[in-house]
Structure 1
Amino acid sequence: MGDLKQSPLAEVYKKSGAKTIDFGGWDLPVQFSSIKEEHQAVRERVGLFDVSHMGEIEVKGSEAENFLQYLMTNDVSKLQVGGAQYSAMCYENGGTVDDLIIYKKESEDFLLVVNASNTDKDFEWILSHVPEGVTVRNSSNDIAQIAIQGPLAEKVLQKLVKIDLSSLGAFKFVDAVNVGGIQSLVSRTGYTGEDGFEIYCPWGEAVNLWHALLDAGEEEGILPCGLGARDTLRFEAKHALYGQELTPEISPLEAGIGFAVKVDKPSDFIGKSVLKAQKENGIPRKLVGLEMIDKGIPRAHYDVYLEEVKIGEVTTGTQSPTLKKNLGLALIDKSHSALGTEVDVDIRGKRRKAIIVKAPFYKR
C-alpha cells in the first residue's frame, strides 16, 4: 500500500485529535468533532475544510484555450479572465475521465482543479493529447486548498481581506489576494450546496491560513470539518462524486451534469459524438433520488429492483443530517425513473421498499 500522502495540515489534525482515514491514497480527517455537528455548522453557520489533496494542473500557451475546448465537455470559449467553470473530460465512448473546475487566470493561462485520486491519471491524459503551443504542469505539490463554506462564510473571510467579497459572484475569483498576510487565489465556489469560498495558497502557508480563518470565525461559531460532512453536504445538494456518480462507465449526462456538456459548441471535443447521440436519443440511464420507505440505508453499490428485475444500483446513500431521512442517489434504467415509482433496494440480502423522489434533496 505504501505511505499515505500527507496534507500540509497533517500536524494540525494530530493536535486536534481528528479521526483520519485513507482517502484516495491520502491520510485525511473524516471528522474533527462529529459528522452531524460539522454538517449542521455548514448549513447554519460556517465550516472550514482542508481540501489540499485536490490536484492542480496548469495549462498555458497560445493554444491553451483551443486545447481545453477539445478536452472539455463545457464551452471554454465562454470563460472570461477571473471566471471559473465546472466541466468534465470524457473518453471517446462518453464515459468520464474526471469532473473538474477550470479557472481562467489570463488569456493564455488556465488552472484546472481535479479530483485527488485522479490527479496522476488526468495529468497523463492531458499530456497524451497536448499539442504544440501548450505547456502543462502538475502543480499539486505547490498549492494547498482550504474551503470556507456556509451562510456566514463571507462575513468571516471579509475580516481577512481588503477586497469587497459581496461583489464577487458565484464562479468568479480574484488572484493574488492578501488573505491575513498570505497571497492566495480566492474563488466563490464550493461543494456543499452553501455559499462559500475556496482559497488556494502556497503549500507551506496552509497552516497559517487555517489558523487565521479559524480565529476570524470564532465569533460565528466556525467548525473545522472533515470528509464525512463534506460527503453528506455534497450528497444532499446532489453534487456528483467521481468514483460514485461519475466513472469511466458513466457519462456526464447520465450523472445529471448535462449543464456542463455543450454538444452544440462548434469545436469538436473528445466523446462529443456519443454524448450528442445520448442527448438526441435519450440517455440509457438516469441518476435519481431515492427515499427509503422501509428501514435501512441505501449504500453505494446496493442493487435496485422493480419487482423482480434489477434496474440499477445506488451510487451514494446515507441518513441525511438535514432532512433526517434515509436517502440515496441511484443510477437506474431511464424507462423506470419517473418520480413516485416504488422500487426495492437490496440491503444485505433483504429487499427494502423505497420511492423515487426529486433530487437535489436540499437547496439553499
Structure 2
Amino acid sequence: MRRAPCSHRELRPCRRARRSVIGSLPYICHDVNQREKPVAERTVLFQAQSARGAKMVDFHGWEMPVQFAGIAVEHAAVRTACGVFDLGHMGRLHVDGVAAMTFLSQNACRPLASMKPGAVRYALVLADDGTVEDDILISKESDDAWHVVVNASNREKVLDLWRDRAAKAGVRIDDRTAREAMIAVQGPRAADLLAGLGLDARAAKYYSFADLTWRGATVRLSRTGYTGEDGFECFIASERAVELWTAVVDAGATPCGLGARDTLRLEAGMPLYGNELGRDTTPVEAGLGFAVNKDGGFVGAPRVLLQLANGPERKLVGLRMRDKRVPRSHYPVQVDARQIGHVTSGTLSPTVGQAIGMAYVEARYAAPGTAVTVDIRGTPCLADVVELPFYKRAR
C-alpha cells in the first residue's frame, strides 16, 4: 500500500484546532477535552493508548495517535528493535463466493490466479480511466474466500464501487472493520517478540499469513508492513485487541503513532494514497507495474496497458536534497526555472540524515543523477533524482 494507508484530502477540521505536518502527513491537532464535537470513530485501543501517553489527532474522522514518546524515538525503535502500531482505522473486508477470485481479478489490477491459500498480494483498485481508487492488500484463504485490507479514507468508496458488482456476480462482501482489530508489530525484533508471546510465525514467508491460536483467540499474522522492516500485521477479534496490544508493549515493543509510520514508509519508498496515489495517477506512473496483470481483464486496463507498452509521460522518483530544507507536498520541481513536476511527500529522514522526498517528474528527467531544483517557498533549492527506496533493510 503499499500500502498504505490514507488520503489526506478528507481531513475534517474542527474548532480550536491547528493544522500540523509530520513528515508528509497532514492532520488536525487538537485538545481532546476542548473539542466541541467528538470525531466519528475511535478504535478499540483508544483508552489503552491514551493511558500510555498517546497524542491523539483527528485523522479522517478517526481519533488516532500521532506519537507517544516522540517521532524520532519511535522511528528509531522500529529501525533497530520493535514498534507497535494501531491500524484499527484501516478497512477490513471479507469477500466470498464461488466467483470471488474472478470478481477480485476484475476489480483489482493484480493477477491472483497463481496465489495459493495463505498468500498475500499488494494490489490496486482502479477507475475506468486507469487512475487509482485505492491500494489494497489481498489475502487468499481459499478459492472462495478472500480477505482485503483497504485504506481508511477509501473504505466507503470501495464498498460503494463493489457492492452492485458483487451482487451481480453472486459474491458476498462482509465489512469486518468494527469486529476485527488490526495491529502492526514491526522491526528486526518483531518476529522474536511475538514468538515469545506464543505467536511464532518466524517460518512464514514475506507476504504470507498464518492463523494461530493465542490464549484461546484466533490471531492472523500477516508478514506484511508499511515500514520497510520485517514484521507482522496482526488481525484479532476486537474484544481481544487490548489484551494483545498490551502484551506486545509489555514484552518490549515501543508504542508508535502515525507520524513515525509516515517517516518510515517514506524512507522505504512506499506510496501514500492521496500523495503518491490518487485519481490523478496510474500504477505505471507510480512505478507499480509489477502489480498490473499484463493480460488485462480488469477495470481501467486499456490506459494502463498502453502505458506499460509505451511508457508513461511522467514518473515517480526519489529526491535527495543537497541541504536540510525539506521538500513538501505540491512544491514545484524545476529544471532551468521551468516546472517539470511536483513533490508528493517529503521529510528530514531520521535514518539517512538528509532531507528527502518523492515527486512526479516528466519521464525524460527521471533518470537517477539528474539535477533539479525544488521551489521551497520561493527559494530554488538543489536536489538530485535518486532511485527508490532511500532505505532498504539487510536481509
| Counterpart position of 1:208 | 243
| Counterpart position of 1:143 | 180
Q: CA deviation at 1:3?
A: 3.5
Change (3 A) 1:225 1:181: farther
Q: CA deviation at 1:128?
A: 3.4
In structure 2, what residue type is equivalent to 1:64? A
- The normalised TM-score by structure 2 is 0.88
- In 1, distance between residues paired with 2:278 and 2:156? 16
In structure 1, what residue type is equivalent to 2:264? L
Q: Does 1:87 align with 2:116?
A: no
Tell whether the 8 Å contact from 1:236 to 1:320 is kept in structure 2 after alignment.
yes
CA displacement, residues 170-206 of structure 1 (integer Å, 9 cap, x when unaligned): 111112x223443211111111111100100111211
Q: Does 1:157 align with 2:194?
A: yes
- In 2, distance between residues paired with 1:316 and 1:128? 35
| Counterpart position of 1:229 | 260
The equivalent position to 1:67 in structure 2, one of 92, 103, 106, is 103
| Counterpart position of 1:287 | 316
Q: CA deviation at 1:352?
A: 1.2
- In 2, distance between residues paired with 1:313 and 1:336? 12
In structure 2, what residue type is equivalent to 1:358? E
- Superposed CA RMSD: 1.3
- In 1, distance between residues paired with 2:275 and 2:216? 38
- In 2, distance between residues paired with 1:189 and 1:92? 29
The equivalent position to 2:298 in structure 1, one of 269, 274, 293, is 269
SS at 1:129's partner residue? helix
In structure 2, what residue type is equivalent to 1:18? A
Regions of 4+ moved over 6 Å: none
Tell whether the 8 Å contact from 1:288 to 1:358 is kept in structure 2 after alignment.
yes
- In 2, distance between residues paired with 1:48 and 1:242? 22
Change (3 A) 1:294 1:167: closer
Count matched residues. Answer: 356
The equivalent position to 2:351 in structure 1, one of 318, 322, 335, is 322
Tell whether the 8 Å contact from 1:254 to 1:286 is kept in structure 2 after alignment.
yes
The equivalent position to 1:338 in structure 2, one of 367, 380, 383, is 367
Tell whether the 8 Å contact from 2:96 to 2:146 is kept in structure 1 after alignment.
yes
| Counterpart position of 1:108 | 144
- In 1, distance between residues paired with 2:157 and 2:194? 34
Tell whether the 8 Å contact from 2:324 to 2:348 is kept in structure 1 after alignment.
no
Q: Does 1:296 align with 2:325?
A: yes
- In 2, distance between residues paired with 1:161 and 1:264? 43
| Counterpart position of 1:307 | 336
Q: How does 1:338-357 map to 2 (within 5 A)?
A: 338-357=367-386
Tell whether the 8 Å contact from 2:201 to 2:210 is kept in structure 1 after alignment.
no
Q: CA deviation at 1:14?
A: 2.0
CA displacement, residues 247-301 of structure 1 (integer Å, 9 cap, x when unaligned): 0110111112211112225xx1101111110011101111111111144100111
- The normalised TM-score by structure 1 is 0.95
The equivalent position to 2:217 in structure 1, one of 182, 186, 199, is 182
SS at 2:307's partner residue? helix
In structure 2, what residue type is equivalent to 1:143? E
In structure 2, what residue type is equivalent to 1:209? L
- In 2, distance between residues paired with 1:343 and 1:294? 13
Tell whether the 8 Å contact from 1:99 to 1:115 is kept in structure 2 after alignment.
yes
Q: Does 1:41 align with 2:72?
A: no
- In 1, distance between residues paired with 2:123 and 2:56? 30
| Counterpart position of 1:133 | 170
SS at 1:165's partner residue? coil
In structure 2, what residue type is equivalent to 1:117? S
- In 1, distance between residues paired with 2:390 and 2:175? 36
| Counterpart position of 1:260 | 291
CA displacement, residues 198-236 of structure 1 (integer Å, 9 cap, x when unaligned): 1001112111110111122x2xxx211111110011111
- In 2, distance between residues paired with 1:170 and 1:120? 29
